[in-house]
Every structure is written in structure tokens, then in C-alpha cells.
Chains A and B, each alone.
Chain A
């Protein structure tokens, strides 16, 4: 956990607009730079014109580009390599292959990537990305030309004039992706085309269409990265949190000798986990795209009953719909992993933005007393370990486990040292073979220490049994409404979860153990909090940092750690849900809080200021 890392935030990014010299890339880049400057970004730009003024259209020599580097702090250069490339045609892609990062976002107009276009740019195959070896880039492919034409149908422009506006569609899309309001861009277009109000209007219409397209399709790109500053030896790949989650689940299935089953319904920003697992058929993963969120979890519960490592993936609104079924998994004591990629709420809220506002829902959002395990991943690569843990605890303790990630770490990427799977522990389901008592086995007989019941999958001869959502007698496993039995079962279900504290790592303190101030975080804010506390230490002040990955149950040493510092500040992207949870769990504990609910990541400089103020107070 204490690995030295560096967060690259959304507001330090290099964007390169590239297209044919007639595509208006210079204007696009200029408007975007100005809009960003007005928003307070430091900018540095680099126009890159072709040598020939009128090179043949669509050819390599006709490519015109404009690079802009935006940053929150000082920006001294236009940036080496682009994080985002807008490539209006195949030639623009080819020319820029050396100017972009291996994991860059590439926005293309699919209408201009047809066979003839590819030939003009001297491509030999129909897959330009593969041909250029760009396998790691995130492609945002949209039929920009056709959308521009249909958007301008009522304007009475000819085809050629209409298509001249397509750069504004790309600009609108980029403005959506980087949260740039359109007002300033519209104003600039009005000034530029002051003498041709029809053209101004058409450009503004297309600009808005591009923005709305991004909004409607929940387009997101992530330029949020966490990099290790001292990488260990080994093989690396680039990975985002959603993929790491998918692989962690596959790893847990492998280590437990179980088939991985996913039941899921598409929802931003969790859908990429479904995409990845649906593609991993060579590894034997079964996926069902269910008819709704409820069916997503219910198919998973069915698969769990049938003996699989079962998973459902969702985001906040979906988690709300899954509540009743989670309760079924709690009372039926079946293993199940529920991945919740948190986004802005309530309701549909901010589907593409990130928050930590589902903590209380994860902990308590069910009818009755229905305790379960809650884990939160801290970085894109940690999603692998967190998902592995989720699978391990679910099958070893016969319980649903909610894994909380968020839009940032889910879409955010990082270089990931590919782990040696041999170094991961075996996962041992509590099969009925472990049952050693003389009394005949019953479905709700359980291990005396861990309180885990024994798992019997259908197909096992002689052990056919019935389970369900009605309360069961703790001895006979038959339906039971006896008050004492219900009290006992309620207690057992909680004690079973509490006992898991004996099987998870202790809470670590990073930084100065003798500091007065302890910063506490959980989940996807790890990178920002670590960097901010490191900054404070660099400034010569003592500070400690503890980050929770296990939330229910809490690590055993939580109280001891939290009470050994004079001041504790709980920092989270909600209004204080974890702080309140800790207050309820730990007697006489009342931490300070720093809370932001903006759908945006923390700004490290702001955190440094806050921590310093508290130290000096």
C-alpha cells in the first residue's frame, strides 16, 4: 500500500487536434485553448501546419495539427506526447502515431475511415490501429460526418459547406469530455463569422450536437493516472480499474477452482467489466446480459446456488435495485460479489462522474438486519487485489461482498506490474467435506468458529436440500418463526461478518507514526491523499495517513490506530458517510472532516492547504 505513487489529474493533459488541412483544426485548437485559459488553466500550444498549403486531401502530407497542453499548475511546454488525439482521417492517425501515448484516447470520425480513406493514407489493411501497433489506445469512434450532415439538414447548406462544420462536432465532443462549457466557444464563433450569421449558426448547432452526443452516449475518457515513481522489476501492462476488477475476479475463480459467472445489466460507468468478462470465453467465463439490474443479481444468485463464483456489476442506481436480492443472498448465506462502480448521485445524478456517496447504501441499504462484507479499491491496479479479496471472502465465508470502486479508478489507468499468480493464496470454499460432526449435515449447520455454513452444490447425491428467503431454524434448517431462533440467527449473521476481521490485513499507517495529525481515507481517493500528505511532509511537517480498504468489517487494529493520534481528519467525496460510520463503530471518536461532493477528484494543492491549516491550528 505504501508504494510511492504520482497522480496525474484530469487537468494536466495534452490534446492534439489533427485532420486534413481543410478541416479547420487550427481554429478548433485555438477555440479550445482559449476556452480552457478562461477557465483558469495554464496553457501552452503548438500549431503544426503542413508544409504544402494545398496538399491533396486525405494524404499524409496534407495533415494539419494543433496541440494544446492544459494544466492546473505551471505549464511550460506544449507537452511531449498527446493524451488525446482527435484524428479526423486515417492520415492524421498515421502521421501522429509517434506523437501520442500508448494508452492515449483517439477520437475518430468513422465516416472518414472507410476503405478509400485508408488507401489514401497508404494503409494496407482495414484495421489502421492494428497496422500501426496502437493496441493500447482507447478509441472513441463516432460517425461524425453523417451526424453533422443530418444535424444541418434544415440549414439548406450544400454537402461541402455542411461538412466544413465537422471540426466543431469534434470540438463539442472534446468540450463534453473535458467539462468545458460551450458559451465561450459559441461567442468566439459568433465573432469569427460575424459577417456570415448563417455559417455562425451552423457551426454553433454542430458544436452543440457534438457536446450532446458525448452527453447522450455517456462518453468518457480518462487521463487520470497513478504512476509508481519507483517501479519494481517485472512485466508491465497498462490497465484501468474496470479491467483490473475483471481480472481480479477471474483470478479468484481460478484460485478457488470455480467457474466465474457474471450476471449484469449495462450501466455507466461499470459496463466495461461486463465487456471484458464477456470477451474472456477462452478462460471459461460465463456471462449473462440480464433484462434488468434485478435479474443481473438474481441470475448471479442462481449461479451461486448452482456452485459458481457468481458476480454482478453495477453502479449506484443499480445497487439500489439489487437491494432485495442482496438480502436473499445474506439470509441464504450464498457467496456473491457485487461490484458497485460509484458515480455521482442521487438518482441518475452524474453518470460519468465520480463520488464516494454509496457507502451507506452498501453498508445498510437493505430491509432487515442484513450485514455483509464491504471492500473498497484504492487505485486502478488495486482493483485487481480488491476484486480477488472480494471473491476470496465471499466463497470462504459464504456471504455477499460489495466491492466499491468509483468512476475515477474504474476509468483511470495505471502501469500495472503483472502479478505472478503463484504468489496469490489458494481460495478454499467451505465445502461440506469439511463437515466432521456426527449429527447429520443440514443446510444451516455451520463451522463453530467461523460460523460459516457448508456449501453443497446441486448434483451432489444424498445432500439435496432446500434454502430460501424465509428465516430458518439454526438446528434443523426448516422454516422457523420462533422469536428466540430469529434473535439467534440475526446474531449469527452479524457475528459471521465480524469474524472476518480475523482474516484481513491490519490497517497500515503511512508516514510519521509520531505525527499529531492522521489523515484517514478510503477507496479511490488513495492517490490524492497520499500525494497530499507527502507534500506536507516535504514541507517539513509531520503527518500520518491511513487508508481503509476493508470497511465491513473494519480491520481489528482500527480503533487502536485511530485513537493513537491527537487529531484525525476523515477525507472523503461525500458529506461524511465514513466519518459517521467510524463514530458509530468506535466509542468517543469524533474526527474532523474534509468533504467534497463535486463529481471531481480532489485537488492535491487544496488538500495540502487544508492539512497544513489543521496542523497549524
Chain B
């Protein structure tokens, strides 16, 4: 076995700016994972552009030693779309939060996903507006009490996966801030995927929404409350992988191996690559009685917008030798005055 020499190390992606997030904020961990994932994928820092909107997580570009653009609230997806369409040679990341991406930027998000433009979208979901000091967000659960909902919200939240798949997304993954190893691996997989990849990272806001993901992120609960999905592997979870998922009619069901007649053969195998998204949606929507799905839930190859734009130009140019405006104008309907 040969050891592959890495061209870059995480430090190469780290800027000299001091990180200003609150101590204990989940964003710190994701930033470190991103540095590691970028080094692993190996695209040069100067070939990388990190775009963000507005919000706590959107400060992230300042902490990267890459090209970066901290833009305006909700519009990061549209700006990143322009960057990538103009320059398909760049690796383009979009850093966004649950308010930025799913409230004010909802339209740009669904259209970026629908177009399948090659962006790596990292959605930091802490279910709260942190930068404006604690209002409920579009992912806060119904009844959530915050400064702007003192009697609890009377609206249902978005589930990012449902929105991404509803927008015909081809890549969706979910991770948790405290799981550095898997977050790094997922971010690297998202970077390698051609097309819009959405990675939802469940992050903790230590100041305004501490413990919002506690039930699944706590070490004590994690094995029981989450399932890590890998393409081609059985859907197993639990402390000793003693539990698994089966299909019961049109619903998923958690079972224990060697109980009620269930054996390993009955357990579903994860197929992230099937274009059919029904099972991906079922998996992504799990919660409550069922473990929350982490890992790459959907990873499907499809035509990529920025590549198609370039291809169309190449095709037209292959059939039309005109390259200069002057020649184009003279090739139209013209007359001469002598």
C-alpha cells in the first residue's frame, strides 16, 4: 500500500483572521472539518471560492485562506451561481444558515438546487436567528418560544431535506457538529460530487438555543437516536449495530435483529445512487420513534448546469465560425451608402 502524499494540509485553507464565533458554538467544529475536507479533496486554496450570505455562519469566508465573498442576506446562492457559471474551473462553496437559506433566501436555494449547479452548499442549521439575538427560524419546531414568539410559534418548520428533495436535489447529506470525523468525510464527498450538493449540519447555538439537537448529538443517545447511512451498506444502528431498518408497507420501521423473526437479510441496504427519491425522502424525514438519518442520504449523477451552459456555447461555436462582433454585424442584413 502506498501512502499518497497530500498536496495541501488543513492549515493552508485557514486565514490569519481570529475566529469571532461565541466560545462553544458548533460553527467552530464545522470550520475545522471544512479545512480538513478541503485539504483531503486537494483543490488549491486559490482555486476555491467560498461565498456566504448573512448570519453567524456566513462569517465563515473570512476564516478561509481562499477567495471569499461575504454577501447580503439570503442571496449567497444567487451570487455563488454567478461565480460558478462564469468560472466552472473554480470549486465554489456556499455557506449559509437556516434563516439565510430557508427564509429570506428560500427562492435562490430551491432554484440553485433545481438547476443542479455545481455548488457545495453547507447549511448550518441551529434552528434560531443568532446574529439578531434569538428569534425563531424557519426550522424551529412548532410552539418554539423565542423573543419573537413569546407564546410559542404557530407555524410548522421546514425540514431542509424535504425542501432540497422537493426541489429535485441530487445530493443531500446530514451531519452533526460534534461528529468531526463524519462531518469531514461528508463535506469531502459533497465537494467531489458534481452538481448541487446540500449538506445540512446540525449545529448548536450555545447562547440562544443551547441543546437544540442534544437528543441526538449527546454521546449517550447518539447510537440509539441516529443512524449513519453509507451507500451499499445495511441500515444498522444501535450501540452494537443490533438494530436496523425495514420497510413496513410504505413506511420505515426500526427492528431489532433476531427478534420477531428479523435477520440481517431483512434489513434494507442503502442505495444513495438510485435516481428514484422516495426512499431517500423516507430516510431523510425520520425522527421521533425512528433514528435521525445522518450521512449521505442521496448522491445521484445528473446533468450539471454550469457544464451545460459551457457545452451549449461550445456546440454553437463548433457550427459557427464568427467570433467577433464586427463580423457578426457584417453578416446580418446590411446595406451600403457610398
Q: Given A302-B84, A302-B86, A327-B72, 19 more contacts at CB 8 Å?
A: A231-B337, A235-B336, A237-B333, A280-B328, A282-B317, A282-B320, A298-B72, A299-B82, A299-B85, A301-B71, A302-B82, A303-B83, A303-B85, A310-B86, A460-B46, A464-B68, A466-B15, A466-B64, A468-B69
Instruction: With A237-B332, A261-B86 as known contacts, state yes or no: A281 contacts B67, CB within 8 Å.
Output: no
- With a CB–CB cut-off of 8 A, which chain B residues contact A325? 72, 75
Identify 17 residue pairs between A and B in the complex whose beta-carbon atoms are under 8 Å apart, listed by A's number: A135-B333, A235-B336, A254-B324, A259-B86, A261-B85, A263-B82, A283-B322, A288-B81, A299-B78, A302-B78, A305-B82, A306-B90, A458-B87, A459-B67, A464-B65, A466-B62, A467-B69
A246-269 contact mask (Cβ, 8 Å, vs B): 1 or 0? 010011001000010101000000
A106-150 contact mask (Cβ, 8 Å, vs B): 1 or 0? 000000000000000000000000000001100000000000000
Instruction: With A236-B335, A284-B313, A462-B46 as known contacts, state yes or no: A302 contacts B70, CB within 8 Å.
Output: no
B48-66 contact mask (Cβ, 8 Å, vs A): 1 or 0? 1101001000000110111
Most buried by A among B78, B80, B333: B78
Selected from B71, B309, B334, the residue in CB contact (under 8 A) with A469 is B71
Is B234 interfacial (CB-CB < 8 Å)?
A: no
* A73 to B78 Cα, complex, angstroms: 52
* A458 to B82 Cα, complex, angstroms: 13
Instruction: With A284-B323, A303-B82, A460-B46 as known contacts, state yes or no: A465 contacts B70, CB within 8 Å.
Output: no
The reply to whether A236 and B70 contact each other, CB–CB distance below 8 Å, is no
Is A97 interfacial (CB-CB < 8 Å)?
A: no
The reply to whether B81 and A469 contact each other, CB–CB distance below 8 Å, is no
The reply to whether A302 and B83 contact each other, CB–CB distance below 8 Å, is yes
Selected from A259, A300, A302, the residue in CB contact (under 8 A) with B51 is A302
A residues 210-265 near B (Cβ < 8 Å) are 231-238, 247, 250-251, 254, 259, 261, 263
A residues 457-481 near B (Cβ < 8 Å) are 457-470, 478-479
B residues 23-50 near A (Cβ < 8 Å) are 44-49
The reply to whether A294 and B75 contact each other, CB–CB distance below 8 Å, is yes
The reply to whether A234 and B336 contact each other, CB–CB distance below 8 Å, is yes
A569 nearest CB across to chain B (Å): 36
Name which residue of chain A comes closest to B17, CB basis.
A478
- With a CB–CB cut-off of 8 A, which chain A residues contact B69? 302, 305, 332, 466-468
* A281 to B318 Cα, complex, angstroms: 11
Name which residue of chain A comes closest to B320, CB basis.
A282
Is B329 interfacial (CB-CB < 8 Å)?
A: yes
The reply to whether A306 and B87 contact each other, CB–CB distance below 8 Å, is yes
* A408 to B308 Cα, complex, angstroms: 36
Is B180 interfacial (CB-CB < 8 Å)?
A: no
* A371 to B336 Cα, complex, angstroms: 43
The reply to whether B334 and A236 contact each other, CB–CB distance below 8 Å, is yes
The reply to whether A247 and B325 contact each other, CB–CB distance below 8 Å, is yes
* A127 to B323 Cα, complex, angstroms: 27
Is B264 interfacial (CB-CB < 8 Å)?
A: no
- With a CB–CB cut-off of 8 A, which chain B residues contact A286? 85-86, 309, 313
Is B312 interfacial (CB-CB < 8 Å)?
A: yes
Is A308 interfacial (CB-CB < 8 Å)?
A: yes
The reply to whether B17 and A282 contact each other, CB–CB distance below 8 Å, is no
- With a CB–CB cut-off of 8 A, which chain B residues contact A51? none
A residues 270-328 near B (Cβ < 8 Å) are 280-284, 286, 288, 290-292, 294-295, 298-308, 310, 324-325, 327-328
The reply to whether A305 and B336 contact each other, CB–CB distance below 8 Å, is no
A residues 317-347 near B (Cβ < 8 Å) are 324-325, 327-328, 332
How many A residues are at the interface, by size bracket? 35 or more
B1 nearest CB across to chain A (Å): 32
* A406 to B90 Cα, complex, angstroms: 38
Instruction: With A466-B70, A468-B69 as known contacts, state yes or no: A418 contacts B329, CB within 8 Å.
Output: yes
Instruction: With A291-B111, A470-B70 as known contacts, state yes or no: A251 contacts B325, CB within 8 Å.
Output: yes
- With a CB–CB cut-off of 8 A, which chain B residues contact A284? 313, 317, 323
B232 nearest CB across to chain A (Å): 36
Is A484 interfacial (CB-CB < 8 Å)?
A: no
* A247 to B329 Cα, complex, angstroms: 9
The reply to whether B328 and A282 contact each other, CB–CB distance below 8 Å, is yes
A368 nearest CB across to chain B (Å): 12
B74 nearest CB across to chain A (Å): 8
* A254 to B316 Cα, complex, angstroms: 18
* A303 to B51 Cα, complex, angstroms: 12
The reply to whether A464 and B46 contact each other, CB–CB distance below 8 Å, is yes
Name which residue of chain B comes closest to A465, CB basis.
B67
Is A183 interfacial (CB-CB < 8 Å)?
A: no
Selected from B108, B316, B325, B332, the residue in CB contact (under 8 A) with A291 is B108
Is A421 interfacial (CB-CB < 8 Å)?
A: yes
Is A449 interfacial (CB-CB < 8 Å)?
A: no
The reply to whether B72 and A328 contact each other, CB–CB distance below 8 Å, is yes
Top 6 nearest A-B pairs (CB, nearest first) are: A302-B82, A468-B70, A298-B78, A299-B82, A466-B68, A303-B86
Name which residue of chain A comes closest to B61, CB basis.
A466
Is B326 interfacial (CB-CB < 8 Å)?
A: yes
Is A437 interfacial (CB-CB < 8 Å)?
A: no
- With a CB–CB cut-off of 8 A, which chain B residues contact A332? 69
Instruction: With A259-B86, A291-B108, A332-B69 as known contacts, state yes or no: A238 contacts B81, CB within 8 Å.
Output: no
Is A587 interfacial (CB-CB < 8 Å)?
A: no
Is B274 interfacial (CB-CB < 8 Å)?
A: no
- With a CB–CB cut-off of 8 A, which chain B residues contact A466? 15, 61-62, 64, 67-70
Name which residue of chain B comes closest to A421, CB basis.
B326
Selected from A235, A292, A295, A421, the residue in CB contact (under 8 A) with B81 is A295
Is A420 interfacial (CB-CB < 8 Å)?
A: yes
Is B251 interfacial (CB-CB < 8 Å)?
A: no
The reply to whether A281 and B312 contact each other, CB–CB distance below 8 Å, is yes
The reply to whether A418 and B330 contact each other, CB–CB distance below 8 Å, is yes
